[in-house]
Amino acid sequence: MSGAATSIRDADGLARAGLAPPERLDAIRRVAERYAVGLTADVAALIEHPDDPVGRQFVPDARELETRPEERADPIGDDRHSPVPGIVHRYADRVLLKPLHVCPVYCRFCFRREMVGPDGLGSLSGAELDAALGYIRDHPAVWEVVVTGGDPFLLSPRRVRSIAEALAAIPHVRVLRFHTRVPVVSPALVTPELVASLRSFGRAVFVALHANHPREFTPAAEAAIARLVDAGLPMVSQSVLLRGVNDDADTMEALMRRFTENRVKPYYLHQGDLAPGTSHLRMPLAEGRELLRRLRGRLSGLAQPTFVLDIPGGHGKVPVGPAYLAPDGEGWRVEDPNGSTHAYPPSADDPASG
3-state secondary structure of 62: helix
Helices (H), the chain: 11-16, 25-34, 41-44, 55-58, 126-137, 157-168, 182-185, 192-199, 219-230, 249-261, 285-296
CB 207 within 8 A of CB 199: no
What string of H, E and C letters represents the secondary structure of 122-150?
CECCHHHHHHHHHHHHCCCCCCEEEECCC
> Mean pLDDT by 10-residue block, N- to C-terminus, for the chain (354 residues)?
62 95 95 95 96 97 96 91 96 97 95 77 88 98 96 97 98 98 98 98 98 98 98 98 98 98 98 96 97 93 96 92 91 91 83 49
Cα-to-chain-centroid distance, residue 178: 11
* Residue 351 confidence (pLDDT): 52
Domain ranges of the chain: 68-319, 323-354
Residue 114's pLDDT is what? Answer: 83
Q: Which helix (H) or strand (E) holds 298?
A: none
In terms of CATH architecture, what is 68-319?
A: Alpha-Beta Barrel (3.20)
State the pLDDT at residue 353. 46
**Model pLDDT, residue 161:** 98
What is the pTM assigned to this prediction?
A: 0.93
Give pLDDT tens digits for 166-175: 999 999 999 9
User: By three-state DSSP, how is residue 327 classified?
Assistant: strand
Task: Tell whether the torsion through CA atoms of 268, 274, 278 and 281 is positive or negative.
Answer: positive
* pLDDT (0 to 100) of residue 349: 65
Q: What is the pLDDT, as a whole number, of residue 2? A: 38
Which residues form the catalytic set?
90-91, 94, 103, 107, 110, 112, 273, 310, 317
Closest CA to 292 of 281, 282, 303, 307: 307
Please, are residues 113 and 126 in contact by the beta-carbon 8 Å criterion?
no
Parallel, antiparallel, or unpaired: how do β-strands 317-319 and 325-328 relate? unpaired
pLDDT for res 4: 41
- Enumerate the β-bridge partners of residue 318: 309
SS3 264: strand
DSSP-derived secondary structure for 72-130: -SSTT-TGGG-SSTTEEEEETTEEEE--B---SS--TT-TTTTT-STTSS-BPPHHHHH
Cβ 131 vs Cβ 84: under 8 Å: yes
